[in-house]
Amino acid sequence: MKKFLPALFVIFSLFSLSADSDLPPVKHNPWELIIYRPENKTDFNYIRCFVQIEDENGNDVSKTKVKATYEWSSIPDVVNKYKNKLYLDGGMAMHLNLRPGKYRFSVYTPAEWYNAFECAKGAENKGQWESNVFEYDTENPAKVIFVTPVINDNGFYKGEWHIEHKAPRFYKWSEGKIK
- pLDDT greater at residue 171 or residue 65: 65
| Distance separating alpha carbons of residues 6 and 36, to the nearest angstrom | 40
Upper half-sphere CA count for residue 75 (Cβ side, 13 Å): 7
* Amino acid 6: pLDDT: 45
* Amino acid 13: pLDDT: 47
| Distance separating alpha carbons of residues 109 and 118, to the nearest angstrom | 14
Q: List the single range of 4-18, 45-59, 74-88 with lowest mean pLDDT.
A: 4-18
For the cut 60, the answer to whether the pLDDT of residue 55 exceeds it is yes
Q: If pLDDT is split at 50, 70 and 90, which confidence band does 127 have?
A: confident
| Distance separating alpha carbons of residues 113 and 48, to the nearest angstrom | 7
Nearest CA to 107 among 147, 145, 71? 147
Q: What is the pLDDT of residues 135-146, one digit of tens each?
A: 999 888 889 999
For the cut 70, the answer to whether the pLDDT of residue 41 exceeds it is yes
